[in-house]
Chains A and B, each alone.
Chain A
Amino acid sequence: MVRARGVAVAALACLAAWAPPPASAQPAAQGRVLFLEGCATCHGDDARGLPGQAPSLHGVGARAADFYLSTGRMPLAEPRTTPVRAPPQYMAAERRALVDYVASLGGPGIPDVTPQRGSLAVGFQQFTSHCAGCHQAVAQGGVVPDDVAPSLQQATPRQIAEAVRVGPHVMPAFPESQIDRHELDSIVRYVLSTRSPPDRGGWGLGNLGPIPEGMVAWLLAGAALLIVLRLLGERSRP
C-alpha cells in the first residue's frame, strides 16, 4: 500500500513539473517520499546513513544530491558497489524534489559556474596541477588503482563544478579556498574545450597518447607496407 501511494505521488510529481513550482516546503515533502522509497534502504529513514552501507546525507547539501542524481550514479542498484555514470533513474522533476529534500537537511547549495568567464590558460594550468593525474591531461579519464577516474567528455558544466566541490567516491573535494570561483570557471571552460580539440595534426585517435599511435604504426602502416611488399615482390616464376 505504501508502494502504491509512492507511485501515485511520483506520478503527481511528474505532473507537477508542468505546473508552476509550489511553495518550498512542498517539494521537500515530495522529496522525502521519494527518498523513503528509493534511498532509505541504504541511507536510513532519517538520512543519517547506515554504518558500513551509506553515509549520512545531513550537511552534504543540494550540490551533492544534484551531482549524484543527475549523473545517474545514485541510486545504487547494489550497496557497496562503485557508482558509475548512467542514465538518471529519476525524471527531472523528481530529481528536483529529492535535491530539495536533501538540501533541507543542510549543506552547500549548487555552485554557480560560468565557463565563458573563465580563462583557458588558467584552466589548463589548474587542470594539470589538480586533475590530470587522475583524469588525464585532456580529460579522457584514467585509473586510480583500483578505481576509475571517468572521462569528463559527457559532464555538464554544473556537474563538473559539483564534482570539484563534493569530491564524489574517491575524488578529492576542492574547497573555494583552494580553487576559487574564477579558477573553477576556468577549469570548466578548459574541460569543455577538450571536447573539440584543435587536432591540427589530423585524426586525433581519441587523444589518448602513444597506445593508439602504436596501433596505427602496426595496423595501418605495417599492414599497408606488407600489402605493398606482396604486390611488388611476387615476380614471374621461372
Chain B
Amino acid sequence: MSRQAPSHDVLRFLDERLLTNRPLRKALRYVFPDHWSFMLGEVALYAFIVLVATGVFLALFFEPGLDKQTYAGPYAPLAGREVSAAYASTMAISFEVPGGLLIRQTHHWAADVFVVAIVLHMVRVFFTGAFRKPRELNYLIGVTMLALAVFEGFLGYSLVDDLLSGMGLAIAYGVAMSIPLVGGDLAHLVWDGEFPGSAVIESRLYIAHILLLPAALATLIGAHLAMIVRQRHTQFRGPLRAEDNVVGTPAWPGYALRSTGLLLIVAAILVALGGLVQINPIWEWGPYEPWQGTNGAQPDWYLGWLIGALRLMPPVEVVIGGRTVLPNPFFGGVLFPSVVFGVLYAWPWLEQRWLTRDLRRHDLLDRPRDNARRTAAGAAFFAWVVTVFAAGAADRAFLSTGVSYTTQVWVFRVAVFVLPAVVYVVARRVARELALSARALPRAGGRG
C-alpha cells in the first residue's frame, strides 16, 4: 500500500474494518467549554478510577469471611484476640503487605473525596440550572449515582468487621427494621436472620461492594457521559456563546492533555493522602463484637447527616393498635433521607411548576444570581441538611467547647427549622442585589 506516515496506516487499517474515521474526526474536534467548575464531575470520575484500581489490588488480598481466628500478626495489642478473617486480612494488608497500607488508605481517601467531588459537582449543576430541559434525565442519573456512591462507601468500610463499622451495621439493621410493615422481614432477608446474621452477610456485602454497585456505577457513568456528548455540555453566557453553539477548547490536543493531567493530579492527591494522612486505623478500634461499643463512634463523613438525624429526633414512636407502626429510627434513618433524595429527584419539575414555569430548552447556564429563588431554595435546603449533619458531631463539640450535649440538641432542633428560613431570605436578597448591580454596570464579558 502507500508509504505515508505510520498514523495514516493505522487510521486506514481501523477505518476499513471499524469505520472509525468519521467518529474520530468528530471526537478529536469535540469542543469542551472551559469553565473550571465544569471539571468537578471529572474529578469525581477520576476518583472512581482510582477506587477501581486500588480496589482490585485490595481484592487480591482481602478475605471476606467472618470465621474467627486467633490474631497472629505483628500488632502487639491484638495478640491472642479472636478476630474474623475479614479483619485479620485487612490487618495483614495494613501491617504486612508491602505497600498494602498505602493502597488501602488511598482507596478509603478516594471514597471520601469521591463523594466530596460529587456533592460539589451537584451544587454547581444545581445553582447554574444545568438540570433543566433537555438534561433532566442526566440529572436523575447523577442523583442516583450520589446515592449509590454513599451506599457503596458504607458497604466498603463495613466489610472489615471492626468495632466502629460493626456498630454502624447494627444501626443499619435497626433502621431497616423500622420500615413499616416489611422492615422486619426485609432486615432478616438481608442478614439471613437476626443481626449479626449468619456468615453469608459478609459475602453479600462483598459481592455488592466489588461487583454489583461498581457495575451499576460504571453503567450509569457511561450513560451520563454519553448523554453529555449527545447533548453537548452547557456553557455560561459570554462573547460568541449562544444557545445553539458550544465555544471552548477542542478535545485534541488541548483538552485531552489537560484532562489526563487532571486524572494524574487527582490520583496524586489521593495517593499523597493515602501515604501521609492516616484513615480508618482499624487496629485502634479492635474487632467487632455485638456486645461491645466505643464512645465517639461515627460513620464516614457522607453519612453524618443520618447520624445527626437519628440523634436529633425526639423519642417518638407511633404505636397503633398494639403495633409499632413507626419505630423511632424510621424518622431519622428512612423518612429524612427519603425526603432529601425525593426533593433532589423532583427538583427539575418542582422548579418548573412552582418557581419558573419555564418549559423551554436551555443550553446556556444561569449564574446563581440570575435565578434568585432557585439559589435561595438551594441554599436553604443545603443549610437544612448541613444543620442536621452538624448535630451529628454535637458530642465532639461538647468535648471541645463545653456546651452541654443536651443543650446543643435543643439548639439544633430549633435551628433545623429557623436556619433554612433565614438562609432563604438572605440568599434571595443577596442574589437579587447582585443581579441588579450587574445590570447597572456595563457587562465586561461576564462569565459567572
Residues of A with Cβ closer than 8 Å to B? 120-121, 123-125, 128-129, 132-138, 140-143, 145-146, 148-149, 190, 193, 197-205, 207-211, 213-214, 216-218, 220-222, 224-226, 228-230, 232-235, 237-238
Contacts and interface: CB of A to CB of B under 8 A. Distances in A.
Given A220-B273, A230-B36, A233-B36, A124 B77 contact: yes
Nearest to A143: B395
Given A208-B396, A232-B258, A238-B240, A225 B269 contact: yes
B292 interface: yes
B279 A143 contact: no
Interface in B354-411: 393, 395-396, 398-399, 404-406
Interface pairs A-B: 8 shortest CB-CB: A233-B36, A214-B301, A142-B295, A201-B278, A217-B112, A124-B77, A143-B395, A121-B79
B233 to A, nearest CB: 13
B235 interface: no
B269 A145 contact: no
Contacts of A211: 298, 301, 393, 396
Interface of B: 34-40, 43, 75-81, 94-95, 101, 105, 109, 112-113, 116-117, 120, 163-164, 239-240, 247, 249, 258, 261-262, 265-266, 269-270, 273, 275-281, 283-286, 292-302, 304, 393, 395-396, 398-399, 404-406, 445, 447
B278 A199 contact: yes
Contacts of B276: 202-203
Main secondary structure of the interface of B (DSSP, over half): helix
A138 B105 CA distance: 20
B239 A238 contact: yes
A55 B192 CA distance: 53
Main secondary structure of the interface of A (DSSP, over half): helix
A201 B304 CA distance: 23
Contacts, number: 180
Given A201-B279, A217-B116, A232-B258, A224 B269 contact: yes
Contacts of B283: 198
Contacts of A121: 76-81
Nearest to B275: A202
A146 B150 CA distance: 32
B292 to A, nearest CB: 6
Contact of B164 (A133, A209, A214): A209
B112 A213 contact: yes
26 contacts: A124-B77, A124-B286, A128-B163, A132-B292, A133-B295, A136-B295, A137-B285, A143-B295, A143-B398, A197-B281, A197-B284, A201-B105, A203-B278, A205-B277, A207-B284, A209-B298, A210-B304, A214-B112, A217-B116, A221-B273, A222-B116, A224-B269, A229-B36, A232-B262, A233-B34, A238-B240
A200 B405 contact: no
Nearest to A122: B80
A28 B101 CA distance: 58
B165 to A, nearest CB: 10
Nearest to B113: A221
Given A132-B294, A209-B298, A148 B399 contact: yes
A129 B292 CA distance: 7
Nearest to A233: B36
B298 A123 contact: no
Given A199-B278, A202-B275, A145 B405 contact: yes
A232 B278 contact: no
Contact of A148 (B94, B293, B398): B398
Contacts of A203: 276-278
Nearest to A135: B295
B278 A204 contact: yes
Contact of B43 (A145, A207, A214, A225): A225
Contacts of A137: 163, 284-286, 294-296
Contacts of B101: 200-201
A96 B239 CA distance: 83
A108 B54 CA distance: 57
A200 B278 CA distance: 7
Contacts of A141: 295, 399
B48 to A, nearest CB: 14
Nearest to B38: A233
A148 B396 CA distance: 10
A232 B259 CA distance: 9
Contacts of B395: 142-143
Contacts of B275: 202
A117 to B, nearest CB: 15
Given A132-B294, A213-B112, A213-B300, A201 B77 contact: no
A229 B284 contact: no
A121 B395 CA distance: 29
A203 B105 CA distance: 12
Nearest to B295: A142
A143 B405 contact: yes
Given A142-B295, A216-B277, A233-B36, A222 B399 contact: no
B40 A232 contact: no
B77 A210 contact: no
A136 B293 CA distance: 9
Among B38, B240, B284, the one with the most A-chain Cβ atoms within 10 Å of its Cβ is B284
Contacts of B239: 238
B297 A209 contact: yes
Contact of B279 (A198, A213, A218): A213
A204 B276 CA distance: 9
Given A141-B399, A229-B43, A238 B247 contact: yes
B254 to A, nearest CB: 8
A134 B297 CA distance: 11
Contacts of B80: 121
A121 B273 CA distance: 30
A200 B95 CA distance: 8
